[in-house]
Amino acid sequence: MQATTLKAEELEALKASSRQLSPEQIGERTQKKDDRYVFTAIRKTSRAYAGPLDADGGDELSSAPDYELVEITLISPEDFEYTPKLDEADKKAAKPIENKLGKLKNYYAYDNGLLAGSHGEGAGESAELPAMIDRRVNQSPVKDQGGRGTCVSHACMGLLEAYPHINDNLSEQYTHFKFNSFLGQPQNQDNGLRTTDAAPFLSRSNGYVCLENQWPYIPNQSTINAMVAAGTYAPPAAAVGNQAFGIGAYKIIGDNGLAGESIKNTRYLEALLYQGYNIVFGCYASWDDKDNNGILDPLLNSNGTPASGAGHAMLIVGYNRTDQYFIVKNSWQATWGHSGYGYFSYNFMRACAKYGFVVDSVVPAAPPNPLPAKLVSAPYSNAKISRAALRAAIVFFKTSSGRYAVAEAYAGDNLYLRNLRVYNSNGSMHLTLDTLVIRSSYLCDLDTGRETSTNADFWWEGVSPGIHFLVPRLGATACIAFNLAAVTKAGISAMTLGTPSVDSGLLKYAVIVGQTTSGRYYKILVHAKPGNVLQLSYIEVFNADGTRYKYAQSINVPSSWTYNLDDLALSGGVAADIWWHVISNNVGFLERYSTSRMRLIWSL
């Protein structure tokens, strides 16, 4: 039986609000097979439809063609059931994180939501924490650990890959190999690893890892066992030669129940996410996976402790205080849960979270003025771009002098570039312009931000009335980064809209779609500007038949004001759809207001 850090009254409250399964049902979900613990996960197949999974029992699920049952190796109880012991290096590494969290200590002093039966909205607002944070847009693609017990490696690489200057595909294969080597464990075993060991391992210079293509992931342990037996299991030369990615400052989070700096304290987890940290955590694999397209609650024994003794590691990337769940990135393919993410309830964290860690700095460090990754990796071409494709679009440019640029483009007989930013190759800003107009058949020099008639990189070619092309010249290139005009009412209505808050750090050429409080669908293009101003650079609100209801450009919303998209007017908190929630200078969140819904679909 697991030890618990919860008080007796807290355990009773958890038991009263959680499901209990019979030993037979528990055995169906987590079993010991061939010296390893396995969890039976449910994933959609290629024939799947977006239907319910919440059915408890019966053999029809296992034979249904829309779903597959997959056995995932868990962390064995022997490796999972421990209390992290911090040395002086661990404590020193945690200082930057503790300093950043200091101002929120009163907020996370105690998680009273369980006993009070409260969602804690008032406390969150008093601390100025938004009701929801969702950083899925920043994450690398969801991966698949296969049948191997590599969840710790996958969670750690997911944490690193979320940094904008880090490659989106690091090597879980090399990571797991190194973890086993550091622990002196044989490579031909598959029992998982101690989650919090990963932080100090990845902070060691000999713990840094490489790119996925330098040592690709091997999904089957049997393949590795055969290589070990043959004496051929070792990192390739390319992997050894590029050990470039690791972590700097980190903080290991233990289990102190519902008080203070504890992995079970949902207020502490909110505070970490609010400060910008994603959280690697280990938890008991004690949930019913038939519910994985909804909100996952804990499965508990009669004494209130988790029903499963084996563990799993994942990455927390957001929370929803109103609906009481955390957004968790898993490593069981994008066909599991909500496109690869699980919604784990606050009570699940209180009952089943065991420990974790966050990271304050990574290796390599971000350059002082990093170029936006999307701008660098875009598919540039010297092909001409038609006026029809530039009705409303975000365009990337690369000038003949090697500079990068981004702008909104609105094409008519003249080409209007709005919010033009030109970057030097080292990431520093070369030039910014609110508006640049290029007349029909004129040339444009982005390095100087002017229309010209000679020696320029781009030409707004006028072929005939209504027919124009953006033509790169002199070795310059361009591409459409996002076609705003192609986002229709029908497309928005097919999307999953919610109540997320969008961090001001993401509000650079940010495309947000949603539904107003009156039920109309909309799309907006948003920038967080100096002086705590939110610029709605493009607004389009649709009628029910998809035609345009309202349209506007270049609307400025002052600090902490609300805005009514149906009326195209500042609302002062009355009949509003969005709220520009400024917390401190140049730090804030764009939040939905009242019953409106929204979703961030693109950002620089």
Eight-class DSSP state of 140:
P
Eight-class DSSP state of 74:
P
In this prediction, residues 423-436 reach a mean pLDDT of 94
Res 344: pLDDT: 98
Q: 365-378 b/e with 16+ CB inside 10 Å = b? A: eeeeeebbebbbeb
pLDDT over 70 at 119, yes or no: no
Question: What percent of the chain clears pLDDT 90, i.e. is strictly above it?
Answer: 78
Per-residue tokens: 161? 């890959």
State how far the Cα of 261 lies from the Cα of 238, in Å rounded to an integer.
40
DSSP 170-198: B-HHHHHHHHHHHHT--TT------GGGH
DSSP 530-547: TTTEEEEEEEEEE-TTSS
Where do we find the tokens 């990455």?
315
The neighbour count for residue 562, using CB atoms within 10 Å, is 20
586: Cβ contacts below 8 Å, ≥ 6 apart: 504, 528, 530, 532
Res 118: pLDDT: 52
CA 481 to the chain's CA centroid:
20
Per-residue tokens: 69? 């049952």
Identify which has the larger pLDDT, 20 or 76: 76
Reported confidence tier of residue 20, pLDDT bands at 50, 70, 90: confident
Res 482: pLDDT: 98
pLDDT tens, position by position, 225-279: 999 999 999 999 999 999 999 999 999 999 999 999 999 999 999 999 999 999 9
Task: Give the residue among 481, 497, 477 at the shortest CA–CA distance from 489.
Answer: 497
Asked if residue 422 lies in contact with residue 430, where contact means CB atoms within 8 angstroms, the answer is yes
Res 1: pLDDT: 52
- When the pLDDT of each residue in the chain is averaged and rounded to a whole number, the result is 91
According to DSSP, the β-strands at 30-33 and 36-44 are antiparallel
Res 128: pLDDT: 67
In this prediction, residues 362-376 reach a mean pLDDT of 89
Res 454: pLDDT: 77
pLDDT tens, position by position, 318-352: 999 999 999 999 999 999 999 999 999 999 999 99
Determine the Cα angle at 25 with ends 23 and 26, to 5°.
Answer: 65
pLDDT tens, position by position, 525-543: 999 999 999 999 999 999 9
Side chain identity at 554, as an amino acid letter?
A: S
Q: Three-state DSSP class for 207?
A: helix
According to DSSP, the β-strands at 353-359 and 325-329 are unpaired
Q: 39-76 b/e with 16+ CB inside 10 Å = b? A: bebbbbeeeeeeeebeeeeeeeeeebeebbebebbbbb
Among 51-60, 221-230, 301-310, 419-428, the minimum mean pLDDT is found in: 51-60
State how far the Cα of 350 lies from the Cα of 343, in Å rounded to an integer.
14
State how far the Cα of 11 lies from the Cα of 352, in Å rounded to an integer.
12
The neighbour count for residue 305, using CB atoms within 10 Å, is 22
According to DSSP, the β-strands at 385-386 and 341-345 are unpaired
Per-residue tokens: 334? 């994008």
Res 47: pLDDT: 52
Reported confidence tier of residue 57, pLDDT bands at 50, 70, 90: very low
388: Cβ contacts below 8 Å, ≥ 6 apart: none
Reported confidence tier of residue 409, pLDDT bands at 50, 70, 90: very high
Reported confidence tier of residue 53, pLDDT bands at 50, 70, 90: very low
Res 270: pLDDT: 97
In this prediction, residues 54-82 reach a mean pLDDT of 73
pLDDT tens, position by position, 563-584: 999 999 999 777 899 999 998 7
The radius of gyration of the chain from alpha carbons, rounded to an integer in Å, stands at 26
End-to-end Cα spacing for the chain = 49
CA of 227: how far to CAs of 2, 220, 221, 417, 532, in Å?
37, 11, 10, 57, 58
Q: Name the helix (H) or strand (E) containing 201.
A: helix 198-203
Identify which has the larger pLDDT, 35 or 231: 231
Reported confidence tier of residue 50, pLDDT bands at 50, 70, 90: very low
In this prediction, residues 418-445 reach a mean pLDDT of 95
pLDDT over 70 at 64, yes or no: no
State how far the Cα of 123 lies from the Cα of 118, in Å rounded to an integer.
10
CA of 287: how far to CAs of 39, 48, 488, in Å?
10, 22, 39
Q: Three-state DSSP class for 4?
A: coil
Q: What is the 3-state secondary structure (H, E, C) of 307-363?
A: CCCCEEEEEEEEEECCCCEEEEECCECCCCCECCEEEEEHHHHHHHEEEEEEECCEE
